[in-house]
Amino acid sequence: MNVLLISGSTREGSLNKCLLDAVAEEAHNLNHQTTSLPHQLASFPLYHADLEKDATLQNQLSLLRQKIDSADVIMISSPEYNGFHTPHLHNVFTWASRPAEGKPNSVLEGKVLGLLAAAPGPFGGVRMLPRLSSFAADHGCWVHPRYLAVGDMEAKINENGHLTCSETRQKLRNLISRTCNMAEPAQIAEPA
């Protein structure tokens, strides 16, 4: 499976980027390919319909759509801001939800998502994840019903941002496996 990793944080040293680095490692261990959505590709101005005509933004949007379209699964890790996902992530969804010219649906339609959050506090962003799930489903995504909220994340990484907690790594492997299984086409026997 081709797994696209999207961070809801653009901050250097982000705990959610550290978590996605661990997702990439564990996905590779499970024989999946990963691609991270580059910050530059996800950095759009606040959405406004008049901006859709801008040629530079159209090129950037086309590249964003290509990354999303080529993914079998999308894993998103976002910090919680006042109980919600980040404005940055909201804006990425808003831009990506716009159907390309000549296409009836958004590139997000039918995509399978796994959701994660990491935070320095004990709850790990748990209040935000159901809201993000609902938001993504409103955009036509199929969201795995289990989320992973990693609290006290700073104690679970080393000085290089590498996840050292074996329990969290096992939970990542479980979420990756289950989310990728959700994206596999059903193998239904044809009636005789």
pTM value is: 0.93
What would the pLDDT profile of 54-92 be if each residue is shown by its tens digit? 888 888 899 999 999 999 999 999 999 999 999 999 999
* pLDDT of 97 above 70: yes
Residue 172's Cβ-side half-sphere holds a number of Cα atoms within 13 Å equal to 27
CB atoms within 10 A of CB 104: 7
Query: What class is the 2-183 domain?
Result: alpha beta
Digit-coded pLDDT (tens) for 113-132: 999 999 999 999 999 999 99
| Domain spans, the chain | 2-183
* Amino acid, single-letter form, for residue 45: P
φ, ψ dihedrals at 4, nearest 5°:
-95, 130
CA within 13 Å, CB half, 183: 24
Q: Model confidence over 135-172: pLDDT tens digits?
A: 999 999 999 999 999 999 999 999 999 999 999 999 99
**Mean pLDDT over the full length of the chain:** 92
The H or E element that residue 16 is part of is helix 15-29
Question: What is the three-class DSSP state of 156?
Answer: helix
DSSP code per residue over 113-161: EEEEEE-SSTTTTTTHHHHHHHHHHHTT-EE-S--EEE-SGGGGB-TTS
